Structure 1
Amino acid sequence: MRTISRTAFAMAAGITLVAGLPLAGATSAQAALPAIMITKVYYDSPGSDTGSNSSLNAEYVVVKNTTKVNRSLKGWTLRDKANHVYTFPTFTLKAGASVTIHTGKGSATQYHRYYNKSWYVWNNTGDTAYLRNASGSTVDTCGWTSKGLGYRYC
C-alpha cells in the first residue's frame, strides 16, 4: 500500500493550514494499490506470430492479489479494447498470489488460466487490458501505445 509517514503527513497538513492552499499530491501519495491488479502484460509473444498454441500461450496477462486475504474472482473479466473477454469461473486468488491468463488453450490450474483462443488477443502496437469485477466496474487497467519490448510491467 502506498503511504506517507505520519510525520510527513502532519508536516504537510500543517503547511496546508498555514498557507491556506490545497496540498498538491497528498492524495496521490496516500493512494493505495488496487487489491487485485494487473502486474504484467506480455502482448507480443517471442518469435514469429505462427498461431501455434505455444506461441498463443506466450501472450499473457498476470493478475495479482496484493492483499493478505483470499479473493473470489468469480464473474470478473479481463478484456482488451476489441472486447476479447476472459471471464473468471468460480475461482479464488490466494492472498499474495498471482494468476497468469494465457491467450491459447490449456488446462486451468490455480496459477494458470486460458482464454482458449485460436488467434492473438493483444494488439502489439497498442492496446489496453481492462480488469473488471463481477459488477462490471473497472478495477485496474494496463495500456501501451507502441510495440516496445513486447511486454509491459504495470
Structure 2
Amino acid sequence: MKRTATFVAAGALAVAAFAAPQATAAPHQGGVHFGTLQFDGPGPDLPRTNAKLNAEYVDLHNNTRSAFKLNGYKVKTASGYVYTFGSFTLGAGKTVRLRNGQGNNTVNNVYRKKDNFWFNNDKGSVTLIAPNGSKKDSCAWKANGRGYTTCH
C-alpha cells in the first residue's frame, strides 16, 4: 500500500508541474517595449553588405494610446554598442524597426548607420534606456537556429 501511495503522490506532483502557469514578461514601463529581434540575419555574414547589416534589427512597440517621444532614448547591447534616438515620435500603437546599416529614417524604420554587425549570433541582450538613465525594457537571446527571438 505504501508503494501505491508513493506513485500516486509522484504522479500528482508531475501533473502539478505541467499545469503550472508559464512565466510572463515584466510589465512594460513607459509604454514602449522591444518586440521582434533579428540577431542573425539569413545567410552567411560574409561578405558584409548593407542588406546583410540591415537584416539585423530590433522592433520597438508603443503599446499606449498616445504618441511617445523617443528623443534621447538609447538602445544598448551587452557588448557595448549604443544607438541614441534623435528627434523621433512613435505613434500610438505603432512599431518602429531599428535597423543596423545605412538607410533613410522613416516612421517605420530608423537606421543605426554603421558598417559592422551589432548583435552576437550566439547570445546577447539589448536594453532600452531613458534619457534620465533608467532602464525601460530589456531583451536577451541565445542562438536558436532561427536567428530571431520575440522579446514580449
What is the alpha-carbon distance in structure 2 between the residues aligned to residue 41 and residue 138 of structure 1?
A: 18
Task: Please report how far the alpha carbon of residue 82 of structure 1 lies from its aligned counterpart in structure 2 after TM superposition.
Answer: 1.3
Matched, 1:63 2:50: no
Corresponding pairs, count: 127
Task: Please report how far the alpha carbon of residue 147 of structure 1 lies from its aligned counterpart in structure 2 after TM superposition.
Answer: 4.2
> In the alignment, what sits opposite 1:101?
98
Matched, 1:86 2:90: no
Greater than 2 Å deviation, 4+ residue runs: 31-34, 145-148
> In the alignment, what sits opposite 1:39?
35
> In the alignment, what sits opposite 1:115?
112
Once the two structures are superposed, residues 57-111 of structure 1 have per-residue CA deviations (whole angstroms, 9 ceiling, x without a partner) of: 0100000000000010000001101111110001100000000000101000111
User: Mind listing any 5+ residue stretches in structure 1 that lack a counterpart?
Assistant: 1-24
> In the alignment, what sits opposite 2:45?
49
Tell me the amino acid that sits aligned with residue 141 of structure 2.
W
Q: Is the 8 A contact 1:126 1:147 kept in 2?
A: no
User: Mind listing any 5+ residue stretches in structure 2 that lack a counterpart?
Assistant: 1-20
The structure with the largest alpha-carbon Rg is 2
Please give the root-mean-square deviation of Cα atoms over the aligned residues, in Å: 1.8
* Identity score, percent: 34
TM-score by length of 2: 0.79
What is the alpha-carbon distance in structure 2 between the residues aligned to residue 121 and residue 69 of structure 1?
A: 31
Task: Please report how far the alpha carbon of residue 148 of structure 1 lies from its aligned counterpart in structure 2 after TM superposition.
Answer: 3.4
Task: Please report how far the alpha carbon of residue 32 of structure 1 lies from its aligned counterpart in structure 2 after TM superposition.
Answer: 3.9
